[in-house]
Amino acid sequence: MQPKPPRCLGSLVAALGTACQSHTIADGPQSNSIPVTQPGVAAAPSPAPTAATEDPTLVPNLDPLQARQLRRKLVAEIAANKDVRSESVLQALRNVPRHLFTNNALLDLSYADHPLPIGYEQTISQPTIVAIMTEALELTGKERVLEIGTGSGYQAAILSLLSRQVFSMELVEDLGQAAKLRLANLGYRNVQVRIGDGYQGWPEEAPFDRILLTAAPPSVPQILLDELTANGILVAPIGRAHGAQSLYRFRKMKSSIEQEELGGVRFVPMIPEKAGY
């Protein structure tokens, strides 16, 4: 598998002064065991009609035709690149209104295949990467999923359409609270957000069938592997903070952990709480 050059949002990311996230996966994960059609994929949830807050996502017509068209175009491009083959994952990307997670007035920016800044030096991941990581989890709709790194809540929203329950942890309180409100207002009811350090796991809700890290630790945290069910899958970017990183899939077997490298990526670092956030 020949790596493509990283699809980093080069100049724009540099101009915005934020961390770049890109990948070099040519063909995506090879084992594609997600069914091609999955009845469990829900339509985009509509905003909760009773939520009485000033959240900007509550304005009428949140998801105009133009946004839906741009989203379909983006997903068609992702599908054409053949990095992602799971129709249920592509459908989830068509259904989640990414522009409502990016704090970005410009629809075009939200629907380019790029990471975008969300504040606190963090980024919402590139849609292709979200799709690749989601596909790598091999979701069937029944799983309890732990996400580390809620950020904007976008990845959690995608996971919520493809699994039973999502538990998402975020270290930066403001980001976590904003994501919690956004997800609730948009009607993603099977997602729980907790402020905390992902390195500590979520023992009260463990074990999890799937765990997804959206920030990169230097090595896979043992606590998180311990919180996986038997036959559980953990997908994570692993590597140095501003150096080489790879996406890995870990499978918990009877007496061992099977490890598979899926390709080069670049993610923001997973920071231990004691480091000062």
**Interface residues toward ligand SAH, by CB under 6 A:** 122-125, 148-149, 151-152, 154-155, 169-172, 175, 197-199, 214-215, 268, 270-272
Taking the complex as a whole, the smallest distance from the CB of residue 197 to ligand SAH amounts, in Å, to 5
- Helices 127-136 and 65-81 cross at an angle (nearest 10°) of 60
Please name the amino acid found at residue 130: V
Taking the complex as a whole, the smallest distance from the CB of residue 40 to ligand SAH amounts, in Å, to 20
Q: Of the two residues 44 and 175, which places its CB atom closer to ligand SAH in the complex?
A: 175
Taking the complex as a whole, the smallest distance from the CB of residue 227 to ligand SAH amounts, in Å, to 14
Q: Of the two residues 121 and 258, which places its CB atom closer to ligand SAH in the complex?
A: 121
Taking the complex as a whole, the smallest distance from the CB of residue 124 to ligand SAH amounts, in Å, to 4
Q: Are 117 and 140 in contact (CB under 8 A)?
A: no
Give the residue carrying structure tokens 């990467």: 129
Alpha carbon 95 to its chain's center: 14
Q: Of the two residues 10 and 218, which places its CB atom closer to ligand SAH in the complex?
A: 218
Q: Of the two residues 121 and 261, which places its CB atom closer to ligand SAH in the complex?
A: 121
Integer angstrom CA distances of residue 269 from 220, 234, 237: 12, 17, 9
Q: Are 101 and 153 in contact (CB under 8 A)?
A: yes
- Give residue 103's region: left, alpha or beta (phi > 0; psi -120 to 50): left
Could you list the active site residues?
125
Taking the complex as a whole, the smallest distance from the CB of residue 179 to ligand SAH amounts, in Å, to 7
CA atoms within a 13 Å half-sphere pointing along the CA-CB vector of 276 = 2
Q: Distance between CA atoms of 124 and 154, rounded to whole angstroms?
A: 7
Q: Of the two residues 199 and 250, which places its CB atom closer to ligand SAH in the complex?
A: 199
